[in-house]
Structure formats: C-alpha cells, structure tokens
C-alpha cells in the first residue's frame, strides 16, 4: 500500500494545470450507454475511479479504450448487458448513475447499491423516486436495485431531499428522461456545473434538454440518441484545492485551465480569510499573504461553498488566528479528518454538524490516516504547512479524485514523496 511522505514548510510557487473533472466525466461515461453508436470523450482524468468505471463498462460488454496519456476515452455500447455487479459498483458511489441509462436503453436492469467514501449516509431514495415517477417498477433486494419498465413516460419530477438537491440523482433522471416518451420537468434539480456538462453532452447526442444549470430542467424525450464527441470541463475541486495550497503555505500559484465562474464561493471565502486572488488571461493567480483572518463557512449545494472543499478549508483554518466555524449542511457527518488534523496539533472540536476550529501558530508533522477522498486532500494540505515530516496513509483515496497530485505539488516546490510500504 502506498503512502505520501511530506516535509512541510515550503511556500509553493509556480504554475499548475487543472485536469478534467472526475465528477463530470463519470456520469458522461455512463451516458454513453444510451446509444449503440461510438462516443469519444476528451479531457478525461487518469484516476482510479475512471479506471473502475471503464472496467464496469467492459464487464457490461461495452467496447472501451482509454488513452490515459492524452485523456481520450473511446466507447461503443452496441450490445450492453443489464447487470452491474457488487464487486465493481461497491468501489464508488458514482456507479449508481448506470441505473438511469441502462433502464432507459434496455427497459430492465439490475444494479448493485453503490459504495465509495465513508462520509455519512447517502441514500439513493431520490434516484428511485424519480425513476418511479417516469414509470419504472423498482425493488431493492439483497443489495441490488431491480428496475424495469414497458416504457418510460415524461412527467414532473421533484428531486429535493433533506439536504438539498441530488447531483447524481439529477444526472440519473436526466439520462433516463432523454429516452422517455413525452416531456419531463425536473424540479429542484441540482445546478452544479457537472450536471450542465452532462446535459451538453446529451444534447450533442441528440437529446432535447433546456434549463440545465438551473433548478428547473425540461427534457423532451427522443426515440434514440446517436454518438458524439465531447470534452469534459475542468475540475473545480482540484482547482480549489490548489487555491488553498497557495494560501496555507504562503505561496504564489498560477492555476491554468480552471473555470473561474465555477469557483466564486471558494474565491469569496479565501479572499475573506486574507488570501489574494487575481484573474488574468484565463488563469487564476493565488497568493498566500501570511496574515490570515478567521472566517465562517457553511457548505451548501452549488453555487454555495462545496462540501468537497470542506476538509481543505478546515486545514487552512487550523492555522488561521482566531476561531472559525465550518458548518456542514450537505453531509453532516463529514468530519472524520478532524481527529487526524488534531494529531498534527490542530485545535478542533465538533458540535453537531459544525467544526469549531481555533487557529494555532504551527502544525507538527505526524502519521495520519486518510478516511475518504477529500479528507485525504485536506491532510495533504495540512502536511504541506506542518513543520517536520507528515506521513499520509491510505492515499488510494486521494488517487480516486486527483490526477498525479504528488507530481503536481512537487513541480510547485513541495517536498513530497510517494513510497510503497
């Protein structure tokens, strides 16, 4: 098992290029199941989650070839099977978005309940509710979702849950509705850029979708979809992580390829905390000025502050003078990284779904254990700022969502090494 060894305390400087979005690429890959014609997806990041999704497609009998060096994925789902088994689907939650396209294409499917990071309860009840509204008969037995229909029929679908809209649920209904009879109106749809990117790809395939990126999406079903080429958007969470890397190390990083309009909430909170951010010539330059100010953060669905940046912001707040409060309103139990940050010397306390963080003057390196994808990123950031040596274990989590993060950090001057135990 691999781990990262970090000798912290070096301000990061230089230029980093942001990879394609994992959270955009995975549903788009699933959407290729909606057509028998070849599709080409570009800008696909070389991540373990992408590898898992490609392996699932191959298990389903789909022709898939990934050029990892150039980020190009060729897919042809001419005769897909309808069963997605536990041994593959358990590895990541995004595999649940196979349910909608397989049902719409084959009219019958069996998909295992998904796995992924342990960040709290994430039921798929809204996915099932939406597909039932479209006319599917669904049962959950022995860890599998069984879905079938004579045909899917457009209708109104309301997708707001206890903690807001569901991104993957919106993606599932969006894909299924594209081949449904009549018009579907998705109310309280997720507004994330990744949903809009999926809709753009579906429209290239011949779908008729309006309103993606807003809370109301209208889908006029078509009889069939055709192949298409598409380039996925850049990863806003990777971009945000490097923005925090500049802030927490007092560095100066130019971020290339990011969509600045997707980073407004992150930019606002970093500037509020005393970080200098400039947009120039299609890039974002972030300077950590060293005089940080405490701030409060509340995670919310897009365009609010993203839950996927909560652990990284927590790391920054551990070194920010004063008391900061981070309230998690998307996944209230997503604070497993706090106990590991405390091992580095952070002064943190948890009250309900809020983290109370009292800034300390410095962190000290120590062995820590990553519990999930974004927690691992937060621990890496804390290690970059800590004195001495930090050992981050279970880094297979970080490899699920960050392409060559250690190499990119090394190019910015970080003293970071990947070793195999």
173/258 same-domain check: no
Helix or strand or coil: residue 304? coil
pTM for the model? 0.95
Q: What pLDDT shows up at residue 124?
A: 87
Does residue 76 fall inside a structural domain?
no
Please write the tens of the pLDDT for every residue from 19-66.
Answer: 999 999 999 999 999 999 999 999 999 999 999 999 999 999 999 999
Percent of the chain with pLDDT over 90: 86
Does residue 46 fall inside a structural domain?
no
Please write the tens of the pLDDT for every residue from 343-389.
Answer: 999 999 999 999 999 999 999 999 999 989 999 999 999 999 999 99
CA distance 245 to 409: 9
As for how many domains the chain has, the answer is 2
249/353 same-domain check: yes
> What is the average pLDDT score of the chain?
94
239/211 same-domain check: no
287, pLDDT greater than 90: yes
Peptide bond into 200 cis (omega under 30): no
CA distance 189 to 216: 6
265/317 same-domain check: yes
Please write the tens of the pLDDT for every residue from 104-127.
Answer: 999 999 998 875 444 444 578 899
Question: Which of 187, 222, 257 delimits the end of a domain?
Answer: 222
C-beta neighbour count of 280 within 10 angstroms: 8
DSSP per position, 248-297 = HHT-EEEEES--GGG-HHHHHHHHHTT-EEEEETTEEEEE--S------E
Mean pLDDT, residues 131-144 taken together: 93
Question: Which of 194, 222, 250 delimits the end of a domain?
Answer: 222
Proportion of the chain in helix, strand, coil states, percent, rounded to 5: 35, 30, 35
240/201 same-domain check: no
Please write the tens of the pLDDT for every residue from 228-248.
Answer: 999 999 999 999 999 999 999
163, pLDDT greater than 90: no
Cβ–Cβ under 8 Å, residues 398 and 380:
yes
Which range marks the domain in which residue 183 is found? 81-222
Does residue 63 fall inside a structural domain?
no
DSSP per position, 23-39 = HHHHHHHHHGGG-SS-E
Q: What pLDDT shows up at residue 300?
A: 94
Question: Which of 222, 248, 267 delimits the end of a domain?
Answer: 222
Does residue 48 fall inside a structural domain?
no
Known catalytic residue: 97?
no
142/266 same-domain check: no
262/394 same-domain check: yes
Residue 135's alpha-carbon distances to 104, 157, 350, in angstroms, are 11, 11, 43
Query: Exactly one of 39, 76, 97, 117 is catalytic; which is it?
Result: 117
Of 72-81, 138-147, 174-183, 342-351, give the lowest mean pLDDT range. 138-147
């Amino acid at each position: 098992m691999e781990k990262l060894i970090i000798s912290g305390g070096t301000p990061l400087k230089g230029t980093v290029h942001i990879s394609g979005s994992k959270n955009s690429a995975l549903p788009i890959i699933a959407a290729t199941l909606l057509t028998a014609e070849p599709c080409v997806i570009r800008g696909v990041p070389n991540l373990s989650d992408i590898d898992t999704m490609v392996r699932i497609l191959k298990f389903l009998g789909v022709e898939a070839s990934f050029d990892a060096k150039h980020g190009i994925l060729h897919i042809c789902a001419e005769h897909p099977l309808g069963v997605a088994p536990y041994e593959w689907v358990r590895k990541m939650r995004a595999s649940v978005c196979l349910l909608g396209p397989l049902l719409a294409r084959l009219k019958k499917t069996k998909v295992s309940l998904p796995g992924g990071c342990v960040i709290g309860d994430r039921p798929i009840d809204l996915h099932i509710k939406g597909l039932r509204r479209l006319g599917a008969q669904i049962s959950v037995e022995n860890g599998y979702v069984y879905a079938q229909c004579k045909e899917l029929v457009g209708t109104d679908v309301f997708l707001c849950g206890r903690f807001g809209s569901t991104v993957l649920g919106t993606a599932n209904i969006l894909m299924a509705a594209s081949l449904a009879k009549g018009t579907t109106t998705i109310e309280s749809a997720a507004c994330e850029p990744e949903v809009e990117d999926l809709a753009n790809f579906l429209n290239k395939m011949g779908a008729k979708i309006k309103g993606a990126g807003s809370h109301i999406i209208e889908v006029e079903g078509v009889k069939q979809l055709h192949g298409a080429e598409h380039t996925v958007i850049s990863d806003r969470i990777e971009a945000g992580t490097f923005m925090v890397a500049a802030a927490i190390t007092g560095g100066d990083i130019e971020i290339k390829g990011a969509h600045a309009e997707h980073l407004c909430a992150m930019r606002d909170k970093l500037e509020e905390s005393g970080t200098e951010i400039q947009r120039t010539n299609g890039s974002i330059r972030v300077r950590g000025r060293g005089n940080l100010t405490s701030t409060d953060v509340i995670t919310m669905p897009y365009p609010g502050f993203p839950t996927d940046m909560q652990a990284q912001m927590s790391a920054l707040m551990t070194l920010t003078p004063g008391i900061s409060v981070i309230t998690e309103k998307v996944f209230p139990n997503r604070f497993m990284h706090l106990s590991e940050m405390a091992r580095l010397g952070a002064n943190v306390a948890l009250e309900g779904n809020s983290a109370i963080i009292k800034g300390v003057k410095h962190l000290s390196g120590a062995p820590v254990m990553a519990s999930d994808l974004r927690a691992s990123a937060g621990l890496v950031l804390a290690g970059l700022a800590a004195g001495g040596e930090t050992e981050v274990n279970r880094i297979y989590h970080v490899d699920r969502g960050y392409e060559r993060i250690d190499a990119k950090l090394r190019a910015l001057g970080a003293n970071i090494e990947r070793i195999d135990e």
